[in-house]
Amino acid sequence: MSEHKQTPRHVVVAGAGMAGVQTAVALREQGFTGTVTLIGAEPHQPYDRPPLSKAVLLGKAEGSAFDIDFADLDIDLRLGLEAVALRPGDREIDTGAGPVPYDALVIATGAHPVTLPGAEGVPGVHLLRTLDDAVRLAPVLRRRQTVVVVGAGWIGAEFATAAREAGCAVTVVEAAERPLGDALPAEVTAFMAGWYAERGAELLTHARVAAVRPGAVALDDGRELAADAVVVGIGARPTTGWLAGSGIALDPDGAVTADDRLRTSLPDVYAVGDCASFPSARYGARLLVHHWDNALQGPRTVAADILGALPEPYDPVPYFWSEQFGRFVQYAGRHADADGTVWRGDPSSEAWSVLWLRGGVPVALLAVGRPRDLAQGRKLIESATPVDPERAADPAVPLKAAVR
């Protein structure tokens, strides 16, 4: 991975989502006095994404722009400008308005939603990733239309929640056996499946879409679902196609391969947020984290390294949250290599937690309606503090009091 010899005069940040904006801000906060150019593909003022599936979708807010004065920070904000190519030999990126030179470049182009094969261009089919997506979907909720959601992941559940709150008839189609099958173990998601019916949404599992037509979704078992609108939430992929031909190292899934200071294989080029993977010594694996907290934390490491401050290796405890079906769901860590599970509370109730251990040390925690568990568990994960499983299993005992 690259080393730079002196502080650059001009830093270009490609991507004006959370990761890109926070990188530009962090550069100023950490004392960078050179030129900062922030390039965003969308024409809107940079905005936060979580409200899109909640307040913006339900018409409770017109937008979610960051409360940042870019002019006051002397950040050159260029909107409606998409990065289309990287030419590292010339130290330039190409955009629709011509080349932009850089001394240091931060790639923060995020991720884009996976589309449903055969559904592109069909009237009434929607994605939910951008402000424009939310604006297009809001009338569907206002008119209380019949909606089919494809995918019972985080975004599918959040949209289904909002649609039911608005009074829409909602059917969620999931190819896997349970919701959130790629994110959580079956023993956990089994209880989450019941949340849909509680709120009046129908969840169809083991159900694959065969075709989408105006007004209907056909499943491969012959069933046909009426659909005034179809919302597709089947995952996202790093937006890195524009880097083709640059020679930058990419993971097999297309994420930029960054090191533990978020430097890429190219000199003075960094990558942060949803488009970049990084090595985690904590978990012994390379992580690609598509969540808000990663886009908030990574920029501080990037800014510090650009300024030559030699930051600590970037190795956060991944964290995210979701509001769905009247529940506040939080997750911290990575449970993939756990060798023990501790349940706190009854998972059929409104509030419960699951703690994953490896060698008696917490490595991940899922909290449903128990934010104190999350806050305390996250600290235990960060500090690798062993716990007593029996005490940790008592929901009346604070997790911080269950340490060995």
What is the CATH number for 221? 3.50.50.60
Residue type at position 269 = V
Verify that 41 and 69 share a domain, yes or no.
Answer: yes
Give the residue from 187, 217, 232 where a domain finishes: 232
Residue 2 lies in a domain: no
Q: Which of 169, 173, 177 is nearest to 156 (CA)?
A: 173
Q: Report how many domains make up the chain.
A: 3
Residue 246 lies in a domain: yes
Mean pLDDT by 10 residues, the chain (404 residues): 68 98 98 98 95 88 91 98 97 97 98 93 94 94 97 96 97 95 90 95 97 96 97 96 98 97 98 98 95 96 96 95 95 96 95 97 98 98 97 97 95
β-bridge pairing 169-173 and 146-150: parallel
CB distance 301 to 271 below 8 Å: no
N-term to C-term CA, the chain: 40
Verify that 126 and 225 share a domain, yes or no.
Answer: yes
How many beta carbons lie within 10 A of that of residue 219, not counting itself?
17
Question: Which pLDDT belongs to residue 5?
Answer: 53
Verify that 332 and 297 share a domain, yes or no.
Answer: no
CB distance 358 to 338 below 8 Å: yes
β-bridge pairing 236-238 and 111-113: antiparallel
Question: Which pLDDT belongs to residue 2?
Answer: 45
Verify that 266 and 219 share a domain, yes or no.
Answer: no
Q: Which domain holds residue 345?
A: 326-401
Question: Which pLDDT belongs to residue 4?
Answer: 44
Question: Which pLDDT belongs to residue 378?
Answer: 97
Give the residue from 245, 275, 306 where a domain finishes: 306
Verify that 243 and 103 share a domain, yes or no.
Answer: yes
Look up the pTM and report it. Answer: 0.94
CA distance 387 to 357: 9
Verify that 30 and 107 share a domain, yes or no.
Answer: yes
- Over residues 365-392, the pLDDT tens digits come to 999 999 999 999 999 999 999 999 999 9
Verify that 39 and 62 share a domain, yes or no.
Answer: yes
Q: What is the CATH number of the domain that holds 348?
A: 3.30.390.30
